[in-house]
Amino acid sequence: MNTQKEFGEPGYLDYKGRYKGLFSWIFSTDHKRIGLLYLFSILSLFAIGATLGLLMKFELIAPGKTIMGPQAYNAFFTLHGIVMIFAVVIPGLPAVFGNFLLPIMIGAKDVAFPKLNLFSWYLYVTGVVLVIISQFAGDGPPDTGWTFYAPYSFRTTGTMLPAVFGAFVLGFSSILTGLNFLVTIHRMRAPGMTWLKMPLFPWSLYATAWVQLLATPIIGITLLMVVAERTLHIGFFDPSLGGDPLLYQHLFWTYSHPAVYIMILPAMGAISEIITTFSHKTIFGYKFMVVSVLAIAFVGYFVWGHHMFTSGMSGTALYTFSLLTFLVAIPSAIKVFNWISTMHKGSIDLQTPFYWAIAFIFVFMIGGFSGLILGSLAANVHLHNTNFVVAHFHFIVFGGTGFAFFGAMHYWFPKITGKMYDKTWANIGLILFFIGFITLYGPMFYLGFKGMPRRYFDYDEVFHAGNIISTMGSWVLYSGLAIIIINLFASLKGGAKAPSDPWGGKTLEWTIPSPPPVENFTETPVVTKGPYDYKQV
């Protein structure tokens, strides 16, 4: 369709194709435009999810009913969970930054199946629409929590079917993205880019893609079974028909635990890129980083039972899952050590993305350690279904993936848009975000430890002080978030023009203009060196 473009051709943002305006986006098969489609969808949904969270926190500012009753609160945390997990965090890094950067970082012109890539986005939108429909159709919004636990999920009068089916469709979108990335990485690396010359972000996407491909079908079939159970009364999980509700939990977590690794692995990849670039030093232990990312993906598939420690599993299963859970900590720790060692004796350039990376390591470590507490059987009995768990997974999912998402946004923003952002405001936003985050979720560890259960709109007076602090944290966090987003949008208009390599990065995306031309590379790059070659510096 296009002939070879000369250097200095307009970037992908100015490209004039067959369609104009909005259609040039929603009919585009260019991986960069699809990445931005995802970015805008995900940011909008993130704003919705965050607002729901803000309102829930406001409800918890005082015991008793403040702004909503129990049923509304149930609907709020259900929608918050479905939107945040299935529509924001799982596709977050792979679909936005993976789509935009994976082909560029391995020296390809696009992903292997560009049309399928666009189709994945359409599926994503369909899934989101179904979830939205579930809020307004029928006898009230779903109130099961994002986990859809049986047998409640087919007894409740809430509108479950569109929500469950929406999650199924979102899962399918995720599978197809993973499939696309796997074939892209296997078949489209630039000449000379052997497996061990591939940067770590593509590596983490590779491991993630396998998990997306092999774990998501399990929840697909499980959700279909719930649909069948609700519509046809097939007794799969209903104890009154002989089914076992625990089996639902097994199947659900067989996907949903690996899903945590779908969220966190690309985050780790992005953090690895940021830390090397701003330390101006080769990543410490590149091969260990590669092996550990694959090991986390592999072992992470077999630890699902640690979500079910108090549900009445057999002792043998308890010990096995606990042991496997502790094993996952090893490769995760290797990564943290290697990030720290990379900074050691590096020539560190203190820029906003680097601050995000440091903040990521800090919150990720707290999240990881609290995970070990939850992974030990005895402590879990005490902490299960308390606010401690909520704090733990927000430190991992929001603190880990969320921080990495914003870190990646500030790292690749000049490449994606061709504009620099205002560093002062970016840093102010980050500081507020960080302080708000710790103030919001920190007290929840304590509250949970003291016995405050999760998913309740009300609580005992003894938990009042902690909840007030936590709610105030949510306001700080939200304002930090607003500053970050406003700053980035303002930079689209007023920002200075970005050079092709503003940070001194060594991976392939920094060798092409910002924003990249439609075909990424005017001539196919030939790779001769490892990904982080800082020897000359």
Partner 1 sequence: MENETNHIIPYRTYLYVLAGLIVATLTSVAVTQISLGTLTVAIALFIAALKSSFVLRIFMHLKYENRMFSAAVIAVTMLIAVVIIITLLDYLFR
Partner 2 sequence: MTAEIHRDDLASKTGMWLFLFTEMLLFGGLFVVYTVYRYRNPQAFHLAAEELSVFIGTINTIILLVSSTTIAMSITAIQKKNKKLALMLIGITILLGLAFLANKYFEWGSHIREHIYPGSPVLTLRGHGDVLFYGLYFFMTGLHALHIIIGLVFIGFIASKIMRNKIDSGNYVLLENSGLYWHLVDLIWIFLFPLFYLIT
Q: Which residues in this chain contact partner 1 in the complex, by CB under 8 A?
A: 214, 218, 246-247, 250, 254, 301-302, 305, 312-317, 320
Q: Which stretch binds partner 2 (CB under 8 A): 240-248, 326-334, 371-379, 506-514?
A: 240-248
The answer to whether the beta carbons of residues 136 and 110 sit under 8 Å apart is no
Phi/psi at 419 (nearest 5 deg)? -125, 150
The answer to whether the beta carbons of residues 91 and 174 sit under 8 Å apart is yes
> How many Å separate Cα 320 from the centre of its chain?
28
Kindly tell me which of 206 and 405 has the beta carbon lying closer to partner 2: 206
The Cα 285–Cα 297 span in angstroms is 19
Q: Is 69 helix (H, G, I), strand (E, B) or coil?
A: coil
- For residue 482, give the nearest of 95, 96, 46 by alpha carbon: 46
Binds 301: which of partner 1, partner 2, none (CB < 5-8 Å by kind)? partner 1
Q: Which stretch binds partner 2 (CB under 8 A): 140-148, 172-180, 335-343, 355-363?
A: 172-180
Phi/psi at 372 (nearest 5 deg)? -65, -35
The Cα 62–Cα 66 span in angstroms is 7
Q: Which of 129, 228, 462, 537: binder of partner 2 (CB under 8 A)?
A: 228
The answer to whether the beta carbons of residues 406 and 355 sit under 8 Å apart is no
Kindly tell me which of 115 and 497 has the beta carbon lying closer to partner 2: 115
Using alpha carbons only, give the angle 273, 276, 280 rounded to the nearest 5 degrees.
Answer: 140
Dig out the tokens for 337 from the structure: 């050590």
Cβ at position 439, least distance to partner 2 in Å? 41
Q: Is residue 205 a contact residue for partner 2 (CB under 8 A)?
A: no
Cβ at position 497, least distance to partner 2 in Å? 25
Kindly tell me which of 112 and 426 has the beta carbon lying closer to partner 2: 112
Q: Is residue 235 a contact residue for partner 2 (CB under 8 A)?
A: yes
Binds 18: which of partner 1, partner 2, none (CB < 5-8 Å by kind)? partner 2
Q: Is 351 helix (H, G, I), strand (E, B) or coil?
A: coil
Q: Is residue 163 a contact residue for partner 2 (CB under 8 A)?
A: no
Question: Looking at residue 137, what DSSP letter applies?
Answer: S
> How many Å separate Cα 138 from the centre of its chain?
31
Cβ at position 261, least distance to partner 1 in Å? 15
Q: Which amino acid is at 238?
A: D
Cβ at position 48, least distance to partner 2 in Å? 29
Kindly tell me which of 72 and 214 has the beta carbon lying closer to partner 1: 214
Kindly tell me which of 305 and 517 has the beta carbon lying closer to partner 1: 305
Kindly tell me which of 232 and 350 has the beta carbon lying closer to partner 2: 232
> How many Å separate Cα 205 from the centre of its chain?
12
Kindly tell me which of 247 and 327 has the beta carbon lying closer to partner 2: 247
Q: Is 313 helix (H, G, I), strand (E, B) or coil?
A: coil
Q: Is residue 431 a contact residue for partner 2 (CB under 8 A)?
A: no
Sign of the CA dihedral with 312 first, then 315, 320, and 325 last? positive
Site track for partner 2 across 250-289, x = CB under 8 A: xx--x-----------------------------------
Cβ at position 250, least distance to partner 1 in Å? 5
Q: Which residues 6+ apart lie within 8 Å of 459 measured at CB?
A: 60, 63, 452, 467
Cβ at position 4, least distance to partner 2 in Å? 9
Q: Which stretch binds partner 2 (CB under 8 A): 23-31, 198-206, 259-267, 467-475?
A: 23-31
Helices (H), 300-422: 315-343, 352-375, 377-383, 387-393, 403-417
Dig out the tokens for 256 from the structure: 């949903």
Q: How many CB atoms lie within 10 A of CB 73?
A: 21
Q: Is residue 507 a contact residue for partner 2 (CB under 8 A)?
A: no
Kindly tell me which of 215 and 390 has the beta carbon lying closer to partner 1: 215
Site size with partner 2, rule: CB under 8 A: 53
Kindly tell me which of 14 and 349 has the beta carbon lying closer to partner 2: 14
The Cα 161–Cα 228 span in angstroms is 10
Q: Is residue 193 a contact residue for partner 2 (CB under 8 A)?
A: no
Residue found by looking up tokens 């930054």 in the block: 97
Kindly tell me which of 252 and 354 has the beta carbon lying closer to partner 2: 252
Binds 509: which of partner 1, partner 2, none (CB < 5-8 Å by kind)? none
Q: Is residue 179 a contact residue for partner 2 (CB under 8 A)?
A: yes
Q: Which residues 6+ apart lie within 8 Å of 23 measured at CB?
A: none
Q: Is residue 182 a contact residue for partner 2 (CB under 8 A)?
A: yes
The answer to whether the beta carbons of residues 97 and 270 sit under 8 Å apart is yes
Q: Is residue 215 a contact residue for partner 2 (CB under 8 A)?
A: yes
- Which residues of this chain interact with partner 2, rule CB under 8 A? 1-2, 15, 17-18, 24, 27-30, 33, 109-110, 112-114, 116, 175, 179-180, 182-183, 186-188, 213-218, 220-222, 224-225, 228, 232-236, 241-244, 247, 250-251, 254, 518-520
